[in-house]
Every structure is written in structure tokens, then in C-alpha cells.
Amino acid sequence: MINSDDDFQSQMGDVTPIKTEARVRLKRELADKTAAQIRREAAVTERGRDSNPLADEGVTPLDPWFVLEFKRPGIQNGVYRKLKKGSYAAEARLDMHRMNVQRGRQEIYGFINECHALGLRSVLIVHGKGERSPNSEAVGILKGYVDHWLRELPPVQAFHSAPPNLGGTGAVLVLLAKSEEKKRENRERFMRGRVPYEQGSS
């Protein structure tokens, strides 16, 4: 949760944009682990016992130009405005072009949870607009699911359709909560060199 004592901008001061790639750039061992997890989850799905809580049906498609926007209570308006403008450089990117709902569901679940575990705070998801679909009824299906899925994932604090230079309404910028490990590191950094307060001391 971001508040006045934990300004997101100060956490992103040394972030530099990553190169445009089709998949998230992560540590190799964790990337391999995620791929293995996705395969296991797919196998579980086939047996009818899916551990992934994200919905896979019943979500309304969205218009290609519909703007995605969401903010949990407690997120500062200033932080949200910066997210909308693309002021926070994306630390990782997921390209969902040509994915169906089932694959997209697995990919976004693994991507968000892995980025959160790594302590990443701002990520970009390219879902496309769906406007080139040969089936007019399929327009915006994946976009609608992304909008629904992100709201279901606890690490997601806010999201907004990207500015034009980052994909416009065919992409979404996502703000993630600080991981417990990062919270611990920040507490240790804050306390380094400080003398604990003792009641009754003069």
C-alpha cells in the first residue's frame, strides 16, 4: 500500500526502461521456475483441479478504445496520475498478442505473481485491442479478461491504459504492491545507524 510516508516516486528513482521484448526480462532461474509452474498448473487444469483463481468464462468483451482504469483505496491520486502518464518506467513487459483466454489466464497469473516476488513495482501488459479479429463478436475479449483478472490479483494496486507511446488502449500499465522482502529491506535500510528509542531515557 502506498501512502504519504512511502512515496512511490522515491522507490522508482533509479529505474530505467527495459528494452521492448515479447516476454518479461527476469532472472533465468525464476523465469524457468515460472514456466514449470505454468505447465504444472495447466496439467492440474486438465484434471479439473485448477489452482489458478482467475476467471476463465463469463467476462464481457470491451471496445478496442475503452480505457482501463482501476485504483485500490489508499493509493495516492498523485501516484495514480503519474502511472496514467507513464511516468514510472516499466520494469517488465508481457506481450499477450495471439494468446487465447486459457493461455492468457495462466500467463498473467504467473507474470504478476513473479514480478511481485521479485519486488518489481511498475509493469506493462500488452493485451491488444482485438479490432483486427475476423469475428466481430470476439473484439476485445482478451482485453476484457485482462481488466477483470488484474482486479482479482492481490498484488495489483492500480492500473490504467497506457499512453499512446506505450501502446495506448492496447496496453495497460500496472502498479504492484511492495513485496514483503522489499518492505523488510526498506525497514532495515531506514533503521541502519539509528539508535532504538527507549522509554524513560533522558
Domains of the chain and any CATH numbers:
22-188 (3.30.1370.110)
Q: Please give the DSSP secondary-structure letter assigned to residue 97.
A: T
Measured torsion, CA atoms of residues 62, 95, 125, 165, in degrees rounded to the nearest 10: -90
Tens-digit pLDDT profile for residues 9-55: 565 656 555 544 545 555 444 545 555 555 555 555 444 456 889 98
Task: Specify the pTM.
Answer: 0.68
Q: Is the pLDDT of residue 145 over 70?
A: yes
pLDDT at residue 47, as a whole number: 42
